[in-house]
Structure 1
Amino acid sequence: MSALPLPRWLPPAGRGPGLVLIQEIFGLDDYLRSVAADLAALGYVVVVPELFWRTAPGWSSTHDEAGVAASMAVASSFDPELGLADVLEAVAHLRSMPEVSGVGVLGFCLGGSLAYAAAAAGDPDVAVSFYGSTVASQLAELPKITCPIQFHFGGQDPYIPRSDVASVEAAVAAHPGAEIHVQEEAGHAFHNNVAPMFHHPEAAARAWDLTTAFLRRTLPA
């Protein structure tokens, strides 16, 4: 085990399937903590690898223009290969816990890209990827994914062109066990309910209902 910080949230029963929750560039902030708590309340053992621990330990930023700029600066020093190794280490850690039965990955933004990469490179039982910006450029990895995987995108995302999302839609249509949902009126990070510049409440609610239903089918708590 490396020095990777791995905060944990336990469900009421103290045991259940595991989920590696993968952060946005904002770090382990109030938003991500609330998502972890929500998933734990649904019956999952949740861990959150702090991806910037090598360069910006304990990083958390505000959710305004200044916070985006600061987080982008921190993320510019992030090594995706080391980040993927951290995610896979977190998956292995959950699998080693006797109270955990099955392990999935779920990520937003940066974490959405890494959830996809982890599904291709590792052995999670299920994966959920929210608006991962590198997914479209890495569709050659999709055939390597054998677990159920769900993708979410916003149709008005300024960082992920709709044409890129369309390419993911086409690839997913030909891949068994994959599904994709596009909230056409939403932009980037639309699920982040502490970021007014991004949050789209209606799209967030629909996507979260789809996510929890998918998890109940593929990794039931």
Structure 2
Amino acid sequence: MTDVTINAADGGTFTGYLAKPASGTGPGVVVIQEIFGVNQVMREICDDLAAQGYFALCPDLFWRQEPGIQITDKTDAEWAKAFELYKGFSEVKGVDDLIAGLGVLRDTEGCTGMVGTMGFCLGGKLAYLMATRSNADCSVSYYGVGIEKNLDEASAITRPYLAHIAEKDQFVPPLAQQQILEAFSKVTRVTAHTYPGCDHAFARVGGAHFDKASADLANQRTADFLKEHLTA
């Protein structure tokens, strides 16, 4: 497992954490960070994907503000820092950087060229935007925040997209969820699952709202989805 350099489309370079499968060959997944940066949680997700046979790359999306952010959800100060970074983040630039990362992963020795995306929280929104704006082979969102603001793009989804939605998500109120599900129901390549009683980040191991049963279900659905669309 190592850090790699990615060239930004508008100049400059940034890094990403890359985990490789033991076999040395396989499809790829671009893992999209939460608001806490490429921290231990994200790296462990990459490592787990590598154990499943994928090349997994998590790009540092806060590099334009402060490279190398690796904070947790354990203190008020870290939450304040995370929200500060989130407020200063450009989704447009973030998608551009993810597309650059997608290219790097496809060109990585041993990668089959089939590459999907999987994002959490902020990354969940960006995975949706990758489904609408990029040529990723498939995409997965875990409790994406703010998707309802870009539902006019849903019709642009032409490749498989999977969304995990927390019913009690404090950052995605019921009206937003209703709008999202209604829009998704009209797109044939979209599958959406709602997790009753779950709050935001129910799949973040060690998080305040971690729900093992729901996390296990969502993760199994994701594993099946990635296998179907990246290894077929």
Does TM, normalized by the shorter one, top 0.5?
A: yes
Q: What aligned pairs does 1:111-122 form with structure 2 within 5 A after superposition?
A: 111-122=123-134
Find the counterpart in structure 2 of residue 92 from structure 1.
103
Structure 1 CA distance, aligned partners of 2:72 and 2:31?
A: 20
1:43 aligns with 2:48: no
Q: What aligned pairs does 1:50-65 form with structure 2 within 5 A after superposition?
A: 50-65=60-75
Find the counterpart in structure 1 of residue 185 from structure 2.
173
Find the counterpart in structure 2 of residue 127 from structure 1.
139
Structure 1 CA distance, aligned partners of 2:124 and 2:35?
A: 11
* Segments of 4+ moved more than 6 angstroms: none
Letter in 2 for 1:171: A
Tell me which of the two structures has the higher relative contact order, counting C-alpha pairs closer than 8 angstroms and 6 or more residues apart. 1
1:188 aligns with 2:188: no
1:106 Cα deviation after fit: 0.5
8 Å CA contact 2:157, 2:187 repeated in 1: no
Tell me the TM-score normalised to structure 1 length. 0.95
8 Å CA contact 1:63, 1:194 repeated in 2: no
Find the counterpart in structure 1 of residue 3 from structure 2.
none
Structure 2 CA distance, aligned partners of 1:9 and 1:44?
A: 8
Structure 1, 58-67 or 154-163: larger mean CA deviation = 58-67
Structure 1 CA distance, aligned partners of 2:209 and 2:82?
A: 15
8 Å CA contact 1:130, 1:152 repeated in 2: yes
Percentage of pairs with the same residue: 32
Structure 1 CA distance, aligned partners of 2:143 and 2:214?
A: 13
Q: 1:6 aligns with which of 16, 38, 44?
A: 16
Structure 2 CA distance, aligned partners of 1:119 and 1:70?
A: 28
1:65 Cα deviation after fit: 4.5
Tell me the TM-score normalised to structure 2 length. 0.91
Find the counterpart in structure 2 of residue 151 from structure 1.
163
Structure 1 CA distance, aligned partners of 2:185 and 2:85?
A: 35
8 Å CA contact 1:31, 1:194 repeated in 2: no
Equivalent position SS for 2:194: strand
| Structure with the higher strand share, 1 or 2 | 2
Find the counterpart in structure 1 of residue 26 from structure 2.
16
Structure 1, 5-14 or 67-76: larger mean CA deviation = 67-76
Q: Please report the RMSD computed on the Cα atoms of aligned residues, expressed in angstroms.
A: 1.3
1:203 aligns with 2:214: yes
Structure 2 CA distance, aligned partners of 1:184 and 1:65?
A: 27
Structure 1, 22-31 or 69-78: larger mean CA deviation = 69-78
8 Å CA contact 1:183, 1:203 repeated in 2: yes
Find the counterpart in structure 1 of residue 223 from structure 2.
212
Find the counterpart in structure 2 of residue 164 from structure 1.
176
1:75 aligns with 2:86: yes
1:104 aligns with 2:119: no
Equivalent position SS for 1:181: strand
